[in-house]
Structure 1
Amino acid sequence: MQENQLYFLMVAEELNITRAAQKAFISQQCMSNHIKRLEEAYSTRLFNRRPKLSLTPAGELLAQTLRQIKRLEDNLRSQLSEENFNFGGKINLGITWSRSSILLPPVLTQYRKLYPNIEIIVQNNVTDNLENRLLCGYLDLAVGTGAINSPEIEVKPLSRERVFLAVSDHLLEQLFPGGYPACKERFRSGVDLADFAACPFILNTPQERFFDLLTDMLDQQGLKLNVVFQSDSSDIRSQLCGADLGASLFSELLLQYVIRQNKLQPADNQLNIYPVNGEFPDYWMIAFYHKKAFQPQYLKVFIEMLAEQAKRCCACAEGR
């Protein structure tokens, strides 16, 4: 594809020339000039400039066509790499922030030994944005959570995850002064969130799919938590728990951050991890890719490694 066509797809995705220019590492004026030359080449207007930037019908048609061309070119490149992966190949991987630091270091170390010439480019974002970038052709593979609704996307479940509560010894003692420390053993079989109505909570942000799961779960039980902090970083939430600022809820894989934090906690103020009682919707970590994209063997192996690492992490959390 021509350079100005690739730049057009960036602007079509962002619908903001400044952000697209920043991603392309060029000036805003340079990006505008590329779009102008493309409009002159096709003798049509591709974007509405007011009231805000949007694609014209001609722009929509061009974006759809160029995405198909890009996918064909990417498929060809992947198939050629499949024939001779010793020469090289590339995986554009999208993954959520918290999961990337848990899954990728061990997987990439192992993968590099098998495929030393395959380049992996990692982009971090929330699942909804990863889905959009995949459909636009900027990703070969994405790893996120929840359901994918687009009929153009193929989904491979990696691991089903339960919900756990993390709460410090000091906070438990404050919440249950007459029942501490006996409550620690009692909660090992599971906690009811209704018993933690007075507890401050540190939760995910609304942009994350886990937040939707928690909202549905709480609505079903008619509960409202006392939320004092929100963060999209599992690492930060576990640290705030360790500072006795509140309890938090984690999906199973992300308990790795709590386990890490416990290594830094004093012996008399560990973070306790308890399964949460109740009926919850299925919550899956998934790998997903475009149905029309060619899947080289080196990409299939990478997905298998991700699934195995997810299983190991969840088993480690189970036997914490």
Structure 2
Amino acid sequence: MNLLTLYYFVELARELHVTNTAQKLYISQQNLSQHIQRLEQHYGVSLFHRKPKLALTYEGEQLYAVAVKILAEEHEFMNRLADISANSIGSLKLGIPTYRGEICLPSILPQFYEKWPNISIELCGKSSSEMEEMLCSGELDLFIGVMYQDNPKLDSTPLLNDHIYMVCSDHLLKKYYPDTWSVLKNRSEQGTDLSGFSGLPFLLPHPSMKLRRTIDQCFLSSRVKPRIFLESQSTELFISLFPYDYGAFFCTQTRLPAFLSAYPEANAFPLTLKNELIGHRIVIASHKDRVLPQYAQDFISITKEVFAGIATVLPGRPRPFN
């Protein structure tokens, strides 16, 4: 049993699909299966149920919990050695949603690699909730995403209050509010609680998403039962459907510049709850009990500077956190 075998086991335990995991690891399915068989022989247990579909056994679940900790400790030790090494060769496991990475990483990475050219960065693009859990378990070094409340296990630095907007076209407003659309539009430019838009159809985030839970609070507060045309985990899908006027949708402020560049005629109304603008609290976080190498600390400092700059150019000019 070695660390590589444990790593292969953890990846298969997450994916629960031999073909996909082997492709991700750039090894053959036979090679992957041999590593798992060695582990099972070493411990004398079955780690996976093979039928009707691949799933962890109870013993597999126990090994997974331990293996994640072992690999996290080994990664932290390698990071400590990188601080000692004159060449500073190490790695940084960063959790960040793909679209948010597209916004900030082009500004962060050039500054970071100018100082730390030998540090490799491994990106994880799962949901904010999943990545927060991965940070707590030691599977990530840093996380840039949504945290509404501080986690006692984590050190978190607020970066930006990413305001939420309702997006729709004039054509959609005219269709459902032919007599009052212009009044409704003017009234909503500084903020809306959704009470005036009960007649519109909506394209909504999936109920499991943090953005959806926030939007549902607004609907509930306004006593509006939304007419749901479509639900999806992809805001990109909603953006692509905008020209067809299937319904209004919601997006965060950091997405607006690119969207409004493509559709300058679109309406983007800031969402309010109890007369207050609402948004996502974007933070950069690390684990309190893990020592961050200097390059990770520098990454945090650069990220704070970049987000302060992002805040000054967004529509509505939200204020960055101090």
TM-score of the pair, normalised by structure 1: 0.83
Question: SS of the counterpart of 1:116?
Answer: coil
* Residue of structure 2 in register with 1:318 after alignment: 316
Distance 1:185 1:106 in 2: 36
Q: AA paired with 2:65?
A: Q
The aligned residue for residue 31 of structure 1 is 32
Q: Is the 8 A contact 1:90 1:119 kept in 2?
A: yes
Identity %: 30
1:93 corresponding residue in structure 2 = 94
| Partner AA of 1:295 in structure 2 | L
Aligned to 1:240: 241
Q: Which secondary structure does the structure 1 equivalent of 2:157 belong to?
A: strand
Residue 78 of structure 1 and its aligned partner are, at CA, apart by: 1.0
CA distance in 2 between partners of 1:317 and 1:84 (Å): 44
Q: Are residue 224 (structure 1) and residue 225 (structure 2) matched?
A: yes
1:118 and 2:119 correspond: yes
Amino acid at match of 1:12: A
What secondary structure does 2:199 align onto?
coil
Contact 2:16 2:54 in 1 (8 A): yes
| Residue-by-residue CA offset, 1:133-191 (whole Å, 9 max, x unaligned) | 44554432222224579765444332223322222233233344334545443322222
Offset at 1:114? 3.1
In 2: Cα distance, 1:194 partner to 1:102 partner: 32
Matched, 1:73 2:74: yes
Could you tell me which residue of structure 2 aligns to residue 297 of structure 1?
294
CA distance in 2 between counterparts of 1:180 and 1:60 reads 56
2: distance between equivalents of 1:82 and 1:223? 55
TM score, norm. by length of structure 2: 0.82
Do residues 198 (structure 1) and 202 (structure 2) align?
Answer: no
- Residues 1-320 of structure 1: matches in 2 within 5 Å? 1-49=2-50, 53-84=54-85, 86-135=87-136, 137-147=138-148, 152-262=153-263, 265=264, 270-279=265-274, 283-315=280-312, 316-319=314-317
Q: Is the 8 A contact 1:175 1:199 kept in 2?
A: yes
Contact 1:242–1:261 (CA<8 Å) still a contact in 2? no
Distance 2:311 2:241 in 1: 22
CA contact (8 A) 1:98 1:234 kept: no
Report deviation, 1:295.
1.0
Could you tell me whether the CA contact under 8 Å between 2:164 and 2:279 is conserved in 1? no
Aligned length: 314
Structure 1 vs Structure 2 CA RMSD: 3.0
Question: Which consecutive residues of structure 2, in runs of 5 or more, have no partner in the other structure?
Answer: none
- Alpha-carbon distance change, 191 to 2 in structure 1, aligned in 2, over 3 angstroms: closer
Deviation at residue 11 of structure 1 after TM alignment: 2.5
Letter in 2 for 1:186: R
Q: Which runs of 5+ in 1 are unaligned?
A: none
CA pair 236-42 structure 1, distance change in 2 beyond 3 A: closer
